[in-house]
């Protein structure tokens, strides 16, 4: 899985916001993966020089099919037409793309496509990158002006993950070495800036550094649970800003970073429950960090990781998740829905959306909403954003997979439930990601609970606030051809609703 966010500046208390966005304020400005259903994720998004930039990741469900962690999913058939071997996967065109949207002209342009490079396994050339997982505007010491930096995700047969840069939004150059660090990494999900420095944490190891080869089970950890920083990406002088795992070997990775005011926050991946650490990043690295939350905010393994973070009204909001869409089969954690936690200015925390905590201090969710915003299928609170004085939260909802599920792994009470209800009833009513909004962080109302009317929009992957409105980019893995049941048989058919979508919410527009 992949966890990422786009944040807007903190709002101040007493500010009178514009009306919050409703579903009628949103219009679809890109669909079908920009006309290519293999563009599965709007994996990174950023506002730069008057345009919205979207980095895609391609063929995600095809990749998942050949990973060992997903070999025995309880499915009647694979949901999309896809190769079933690693060799077959490399016959697909997986050249990741970057698209730019001009809101004045209302037009899109593909401004970059990954090049082909020599495969390190021999044979046909491969895409140098298969996805762009993070974007950040930053001016380094050698930059004449602010640039858009893009973190590239490399396949196991490519040279390695790296970071690209553009000054004009059209010419992109690789500015880091392959692998970024001396111990090469395959990707990073969180480029974040503060006080003239850019930070990141490794997400995946390069193939040459990965024990046992590319079985897919290591895609969310790199064996380097550290935060790194530099003042100049092109200078390739990355310094460790933290000690490994903040001194806790249970922290297997750092999933999210957030810069707010003069503080850097880091959220970890931990099988006993995530931790959140904070540092003012003063002096020389590695810096002094202090722990704000551990054991998944008292929920343990069911809050395995920090999926998203954002600053709003002087507090930090944290979205949680379990890798694998809310069910980590490798580590036998879940299934469980995600929660929303708030860290207050005094570093105490509140449960906003989630399940009751019993113990020394009983906690009920301040919103009155149980985990998943009351929806069991919301496995991540995947994106958080602030726009016009409102806090927005987007989820990942896996309920559309019920169309192909055998329910073999489902708890007994779930199986009994589906003895009385056709899974298609659930898909019709709950299929597709949720988008919610709140003015005060505690009282929430939904904008959509059905992926903007498309059940294949399984996730709201990114939220970006701009002068032209709030952009929402989706994860939609179900293209270009999807399995459709005809009686007892399955057939793959073209799916015009597959592939990522981008939606624009504007309080001054009603559709």
Helices (runs of H) and strands (runs of E) counted in the chain: 6, 34
Predicted confidence (pLDDT) at residue 370 exceeds the cutoff of 70: yes
Share the mean pLDDT of the chain. Answer: 91
Residue 11 lies in a domain: no
Neighbour-count burial of 117, counting CB atoms closer than 10 A to its CB (0-12 exposed, 13-18 middle, 19+ buried): middle
Neighbours of 146 (CB within 10 A): 13
Predicted confidence (pLDDT) at residue 1 exceeds the cutoff of 60: no
Q: What's residue 281's pLDDT? A: 96
What's the chain's Rg over C-alpha atoms? 21
pLDDT band at 270 (very low <50, low <70, confident <90, very high): very high
Q: Mean pLDDT over residues 57-64, rounded?
A: 96
Residue 8 lies in a domain: no
Q: Which residues pair with 39 in a beta bridge?
A: 58
Cis check for the bond before 286: say yes or no (omega within 30 of 0). yes
The span from the CA of 279 to the CA of 510, in Å, is 43
For residue 75 the two structure tokens come to: 């499915």
**Separation of CA 420 from chain center:** 34
Q: Mean pLDDT over residues 320-338, rounded?
A: 94
Residue 511 lies in a domain: no
Residue 57's contacts (CB-CB under 8 Å, 6 or more residues apart) are 2, 39, 40, 41, 43, 96, 130, 131, 132, 133, 153
Query: Higher-confidence residue: 405 or 167?
Result: 167
The span from the CA of 365 to the CA of 482, in Å, is 38
The span from the CA of 458 to the CA of 450, in Å, is 9
pLDDT band at 211 (very low <50, low <70, confident <90, very high): very low
CATH code of the domain in which 131 resides: 2.120.10.80
Residue 470 lies in a domain: yes
Residue 390 lies in a domain: yes
What is the residue range of 374's domain?
Answer: 23-505
Please state the φ and ψ torsions of residue 131, each to the nearest 5 degrees: -170, 160
Distances (CA, A) of 158 to 38, 131, 194, 234, 452: 19, 12, 31, 21, 36
Residue 13 lies in a domain: no
Q: What's residue 215's pLDDT? A: 37
Question: Could you give the number of structural domains in the chain?
Answer: 1
Span 390-418, pLDDT tens digits: 999 999 999 999 999 887 666 676 677 77
Looking from the CA of 44 toward its CB, the CA atoms found within 13 Å total 28
For residue 61 the two structure tokens come to: 């469900």
Residue 31 lies in a domain: yes
Q: Mean pLDDT over residues 214-223, rounded?
A: 54
**Closest to 240 (Cα-Cα) out of 156, 182, 166:** 182
Residue 20's contacts (CB-CB under 8 Å, 6 or more residues apart) are 388, 390, 437, 439, 445, 507
pLDDT band at 72 (very low <50, low <70, confident <90, very high): confident
Residue 119 lies in a domain: yes
Span 421-433, pLDDT tens digits: 788 898 999 999 9
pLDDT band at 209 (very low <50, low <70, confident <90, very high): very low
Q: Which pTM value belongs to this model? A: 0.94
């Amino acid at each position: 899985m992949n966890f990422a966010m786009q944040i807007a500046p903190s709002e101040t208390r007493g500010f009178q916001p514009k009306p919050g966005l409703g579903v009628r304020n949103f219009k679809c400005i890109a669909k079908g993966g920009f006309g290519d259903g293999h563009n599965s994720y709007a994996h990174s998004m950023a506002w730069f020089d008057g345009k919205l930039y979207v980095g895609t990741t391609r063929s995600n469900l095809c990749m998942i099919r050949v990973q060992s962690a997903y070999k025995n999913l309880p499915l009647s058939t694979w949901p999309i037409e896809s190769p079933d071997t690693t060799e077959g996967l490399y016959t697909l065109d997986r050249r990741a793309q970057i698209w730019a949207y001009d809101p004045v002209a209302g037009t899109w342009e593909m401004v970059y496509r990954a090049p082909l490079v020599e495969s390190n396994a021999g044979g046909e050339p491969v895409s140098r990158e298969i996805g762009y997982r993070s974007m950040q505007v930053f001016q380094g010491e050698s930059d004449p002006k602010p640039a858009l930096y893009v973190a590239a995700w490399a396949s196991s047969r490519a040279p390695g993950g790296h970071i690209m840069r553009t000054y004009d939004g059209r010419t992109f150059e690789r500015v880091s070495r392959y692998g970024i660090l001396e111990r090469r990494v395959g990707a990073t999900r969180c480029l974040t800036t503060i006080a003239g420095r850019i930070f990141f944490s490794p997400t995946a190891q390069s193939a040459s550094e990965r024990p046992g080869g590319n079985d897919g089970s290591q895609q969310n950890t790199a064996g380097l649970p550290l935060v790194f920083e530099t003042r100049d990406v092109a200078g390739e002088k990355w310094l460790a800003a933290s000690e490994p795992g903040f001194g806790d070997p249970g922290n297997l990775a750092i999933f999210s970073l957030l810069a707010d005011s003069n503080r850097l926050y880091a959220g970890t991946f931990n099988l006993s429950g995530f931790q959140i650490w904070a540092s003012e990043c003063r002096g020389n690295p590695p810096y002094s960090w202090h722990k704000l939350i551990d054991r998944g905010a008292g929920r343990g393994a069911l809050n395995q990781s920090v999926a998203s973070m954002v600053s709003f009204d002087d507090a930090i909001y944290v979205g949680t998740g379990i890798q694998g869409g809310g069910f980590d089969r490798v580590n036998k954690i879940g299934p469980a829905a995600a929660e929303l936690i708030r860290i207050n200015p005094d570093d105490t925390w509140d449960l906003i959306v989630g399940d009751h905590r019993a113990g020394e201090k009983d906690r009920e969710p301040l919103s009155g909403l149980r985990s998943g915003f009351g929806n069991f299928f919301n496995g991540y609170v995947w994106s958080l954003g602030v726009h016009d004085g409102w806090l927005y939260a987007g989820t990942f909802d896996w309920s559309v997979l019920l169309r192909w599920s055998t329910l073999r792994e489902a708890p007994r009470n779930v199986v009994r439930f589906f003895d009385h209800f056709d899974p298609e009833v659930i898909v019709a009513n709950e299929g597709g990601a949720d988008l919610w909004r709140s003015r005060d962080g505690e009282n929430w109302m939904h904008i959509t609970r059905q992926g903007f009317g498309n059940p294949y929009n399984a996730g709201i992957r990114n939220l970006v606030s701009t002068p032209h409105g709030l952009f929402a980019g989706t994860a939609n893995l179900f293209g270009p051809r999807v399995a459709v049941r005809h009686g007892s048989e399955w057939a793959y058919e073209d799916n015009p609703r597959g592939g990522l979508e981008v939606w624009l919410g504007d309080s001054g527009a009603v559709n």
